[in-house]
Copies of this chain bind each other. A is one copy, B any other.
């Protein structure tokens, strides 16, 4: 199901840049653009990437305009010979390029104020498309443009994400929102961890079929499942429908939902720790610092995160986490007993309220018949003596196992903090 099918205004995004046609780099601006456009009731129906080639760009703008009323291009506004979007767009619009003397003088002054002489190549960034609105770029040199042709509109933006976003926020989105005549697109993302996609689908099936007229999408990533609920309508009405839709889905998912919209699992765990005035310490083996890295991604995490120990070698488990040599000898590094001792060791060594541990086999080697690659033990140890331990068997390659295990570790901490009986 697509969010696009019911929207009244459609957009097509054209990313310009040969570097995005190689095997290494993707266009990512379009994801941000899509999210922001949806909020003003505009659905993206087509995305494309073309190289820095004037003919190709003109052809692409033509194709995009055939698919959507609004075309947004990103990239190709820089000073080098490769940057040809403005000229190609002018050609497509049937407009002349006119060098703006006032803008050129300002550019020169800006360079001089930094003690640099402006190079001749930069001059073309003062070429304006006749008849198009100039979109000021407070974060960079090249301005954007907003032109139109035969009932189609073309918004031309730089490819540098910070510049592109600033121009959208200041000069494009407010006008699109005003035009939408009040119709809005509202989205709620419900986020679940520690469950597979099919298990989530089974739970929500009865509710899902009750809301057929509104698009619901289920997206899975390693360790996490997201439900996207989308409603389009007038302000107030759309929110009301979305709220009752959300209530329905929450009634079957309950506390399995760890957060909504942009709140990721690490942020949700951080919120619980902060609210409960508790601190966390970690002991990681196979995840190798990934859980600590996720926890400290959140600004302000020093309020509740004391630190972590990445005990890759068994010796480190003994010397830094006080895991008993006999435990390692009798049960192995990947065992419930070792996980529990690691969690206790992290908590006591780092003087935290809660300690959590991850020990497993990420692969590709190191697996045995009894403990195949993907086997991971988790434990949480609380200052009040409460402990939780779980085993999981993840499938996939090393990166997938590490990522899935990191997300599950956070989910287990969340369930432990929430006091779930069967955490």
Contact = CB atoms under 8 A, between A and B. Distances in A.
Interface of A: 1-5, 18-26, 28, 31-32, 34-35, 38, 43-53, 56, 59-60, 63, 66-67, 82, 189, 217, 219, 226, 228, 282, 284, 286-293, 295-297, 299-302, 305-313, 315-316, 319-320, 349-351, 363-365, 398-399, 402
Contacts of A32: 23
23 contacts: A1-B18, A2-B21, A2-B22, A22-B217, A23-B34, A26-B31, A45-B53, A45-B56, A46-B51, A59-B63, A290-B293, A299-B364, A300-B365, A301-B312, A302-B312, A302-B313, A305-B312, A305-B313, A306-B316, A307-B310, A307-B311, A308-B309, A320-B320
Given A4-B21, A307-B311, A320-B320, 10 more contacts: A1-B82, A3-B22, A21-B44, A22-B217, A282-B310, A289-B295, A297-B402, A302-B312, A302-B313, A319-B349
Given A63-B59, A312-B305, A2 B300 contact: no
A232 to B, nearest CB: 14
Contacts of A47: 20-21, 48-49
The 7 closest A-B pairs by CB, nearest first: A288-B296, A289-B292, A2-B18, A289-B289, A23-B35, A48-B48, A63-B63
B51 A56 contact: no
B48 A22 contact: no
A217 B24 CA distance: 11
A18 B46 contact: no
Given A21-B47, A48-B47, A307 B320 contact: yes
A360 to B, nearest CB: 12
